A = this chain, B = another copy of it.
Amino acid sequence: MTYSEEDYIKAIYHLSKDLKSFASTSDIAAQLDTKASSVTDMIQKLSDKKVVHYKKYQGVRLTEKGEIYAASIVRKHRLWEYFLVEKLNFSWDEVHDVAEELEHIKSEKLIERLDVFLGFPKMDPHGDPIPDQHGQIPDIKKILLSAMKDEQRGIVIGVKDSSSKFLRYLDKLNIALGTEIKVLEKEAFDNSMAIVIDHKTVHISAITAANIYIKT
């Protein structure tokens, strides 16, 4: 597979994970910042290679083979992100683009040795699970901060949006993975929230709250 094909496979994987079904041409185009026509071309190629199921105008879904391939790319991406943060002292908002390149390096041995070297991490720096060699993902129970009720406590274990912008905003709020929080009050008017972090009260918007995962 080329780098480009791998990026498409990963995009389809993420889209059909979220939407739990078929990924549309335009969704894939949006995800990869490309044109729908380019997506159609590539989809047809991936269909020939039996990594996706495709019927014209029906969108696309990964085959068994495609799922396994996708999981291996995600595994590499997240292991490299972990490496960059834990070993090279990158911050969590700097790792994505580099991992986007590193995930395509073709060597089974490399990734398995990296896994050993890192101590078999289960989560990447954004709290996303790292698939194992067989593509299995441990699914951790988590809820969105926006779904929490007044007085409820929990620990931040992940983010839904892992853009640099959002992550740097969380840094400013002193919210990191592992941070303990308590909901003081959810405002009925706009769903904004007052929460307590390290004994200080912080106000966050509904959008922010809907992008933070919590373990209760």
Residues of chain A having any CB pair with chain B under 8 Å: 84, 87-90, 94, 97-98, 101-102, 105-107, 109-110, 113-114, 116-117
Contacts and interface: CB of A to CB of B under 8 A. Distances in A.
B88 A113 contact: yes
Chain A residues touching B, majority SS: helix
B106 A101 contact: yes
Contacts of A113: 84, 88-90
Contact of A117 (B88, B101, B106): B88
Given A87-B117, A88-B113, 5 more contacts: A84-B110, A84-B113, A88-B114, A89-B113, A97-B107
Contacts of A117: 87-88
Top-3 shortest CB links A-B: A88-B113, A98-B107, A101-B105
Nearest to A112: B88
Max chain B Cβ within 10 angstroms of own Cβ: one of A89, A110, A113, A116: A110
A109 B98 CA distance: 10
21 contacts: A84-B110, A84-B113, A87-B117, A88-B110, A88-B113, A88-B114, A88-B116, A88-B117, A89-B113, A90-B109, A90-B113, A94-B109, A97-B107, A98-B105, A98-B107, A98-B109, A98-B110, A101-B105, A101-B106, A101-B107, A102-B105
A113 B95 CA distance: 13
Contacts of A110: 84, 88, 98
A101 B87 CA distance: 21
Contacts of A84: 110, 113
A76 B183 CA distance: 48
A94 B109 CA distance: 10
Nearest to A94: B109
A116 B87 CA distance: 10
